Amino acid sequence: MTEPIISIRNVAKRFAGGVTAVDNISIDIMPNEFFALLGPSGCGKTTLLRMISGLETPTEGQIFIGGEDMAFTPPNKRPTNMVFQSYAVFPHMTVEQNVGYGLKVTGVAPAEIKTRTAEALEMVKLSHLALRKPDQMSGGQRQRVALARALVKRPKVLLLDEPLSALDAKLRDDMRMELTRLQETVGITFIIVTHDQDEALSMASRIAVMDKGAVAQIATPAELYEQPRNRFVADFIGKVNLLDAAIVKQKGETKTCDAKGIGKFDMLTDKACSNEATIAVRPEKLKLSTSEPKGAGLVKVKATIRDVAYYGDTSHIIADTVEGKELEINVQNDSRTGGAGVERGQKMWVHFNPHDALLLTE
């Protein structure tokens, strides 16, 4: 088995005044991973990244980088480099000087600085702007400078702090692809901090979802989406209908649930349950029909359509069940005529297969 490139062991960061930003976190990150720290603002993800870079020191715990505990090593002695949220491109230096800076201050020979800078600029497609000053460049170009400046150091790990948050939507999509491509080309570990779940899901190979300074779940994007471990993760990643349910009967792996506003149905799970649980169903797993659906084990409920939002490829529908539970349903608009074929105020059947739902106990 390969050794993790970064191993975070029981790390905590407590600030004066009793604020705990990071609370006893342990994560192993493997070489060549594109790892994302994802969470709402204030969950401690940036603090954790800054502790990996050395810009903050942990109050407790160890941070192993390449097998060596570097928790208290200053940032200039670590094999990590960071792309800052504000890019932090030096305003008084040209693009070339910016990119070469990290090599110059560590005493690399001028000839080598020149070739490596040129290579790095080539990699981010900025060779033609080498002599520009940052104030003559767009936000996207400045970000590329920041990327080249970090990559030219050939770090073991590249840290990216909300790298796409300041870009406009179109550019953000391009940059996402670009970052994934770069990571594959240079073959180093990327750790990205983001609050944007789409960003994390589309780029990362593994994601740590953080909540209130702790890790809620570490998993691949698909696992996070389909097998969230608890309510927080289910709710934070994508959209979800959370149904409060009482477990009325347990027989081996078959649990009979009574979901409020929906009704009774059986779920298969090997999880140990108490009497209370939450059933999570993604909106695209809910189906609509005008007549009562037939099929063994289907969960079905009558509902009134309250709202239809048209998004082109899909329509998002809000419906209220007879007993007043609000459900969100996503319908693919897969024919050109009729859209979702649903109107406000219409009474319809909402149904789903219990296999597509998830029973959450945390």
Residues 148-207 that bind another protein (CB under 8 A): 149-150, 153
Is the CB of 46 or the CB of 315 nearer to another protein?
A: 46
At its nearest, how many Å lie between another protein and the CB of residue 143?
Answer: 13
Residues 83-112 that bind another protein (CB under 8 A): 84-86, 88, 90-92, 101-102, 105-106
At its nearest, how many Å lie between another protein and the CB of residue 91?
Answer: 5
User: Which DSSP symbol is given to 354?
Assistant: G
Is the CB of 105 or the CB of 109 nearer to another protein?
A: 105
Which range of residues in 59-67, 144-152, 199-207, 243-251 is near another protein by CB under 8 A?
144-152
Q: What share of the chain is helix, strand, coil (3-state, %, to 5)?
A: 25, 35, 35
Residue with tokens 């649990």: 255
Beta-bridge partners for 9: 62
- How far apart CA 189 and CA 183 sit, in angstroms, is 7
The single residue among 76, 275, 291, 335 that binds another protein, judged by CB under 8 A, is: 76
Q: What order do you get walking across the sheet with 68-69 strand by strand?
A: 19-29, 6-15, 60-65, 68-69
Is the CB of 146 or the CB of 164 nearer to another protein?
A: 146
- Residue 222 in the binding site for another protein (CB under 8 A): no
- How far apart CA 243 and CA 351 sit, in angstroms, is 14
What does the DSSP assignment read for 112-167? Answer: HHHHHHHHHHHHTT-GGGTT--GGGS-HHHHHHHHHHHHHTT--SEEEEESTTTTS
Is the CB of 154 or the CB of 287 nearer to another protein?
A: 154
Other CB atoms within a 10 A radius of the CB of residue 68 amount to 10
- How far apart CA 68 and CA 65 sit, in angstroms, is 5
Residues 229-258 that bind another protein (CB under 8 A): none
At its nearest, how many Å lie between another protein and the CB of residue 156?
Answer: 14
- Residue 40 in the binding site for another protein (CB under 8 A): no
Is the CB of 147 or the CB of 280 nearer to another protein?
A: 147
Beta-bridge partners for 360: 278
Is the CB of 150 or the CB of 210 nearer to another protein?
A: 150
- Residue 58 in the binding site for another protein (CB under 8 A): no
53 three-state secondary structure: helix
The single residue among 42, 66, 75, 341 that binds another protein, judged by CB under 8 A, is: 75
At its nearest, how many Å lie between another protein and the CB of residue 123?
Answer: 17
- Residue 139 in the binding site for another protein (CB under 8 A): no
Taking Cα atoms as reference points, which of 228, 217, 229 lies closest to residue 27?
Answer: 217
319 three-state secondary structure: strand
How many residues in the shown chain lie near another protein by CB under 8 A? 24
The single residue among 4, 39, 44, 54 that binds another protein, judged by CB under 8 A, is: 54
Which range of residues in 146-154, 260-268, 274-282, 326-334 is near another protein by CB under 8 A?
146-154
Q: What are the angstrom distances between the C-alpha of 251 and each of 155, 233, 245, 280, 357?
A: 54, 28, 17, 21, 19
Applying CB under 8 A, which residues contact another protein? 53-55, 74-76, 80-82, 84-86, 88, 90-92, 101-102, 105-106, 146, 149-150, 153
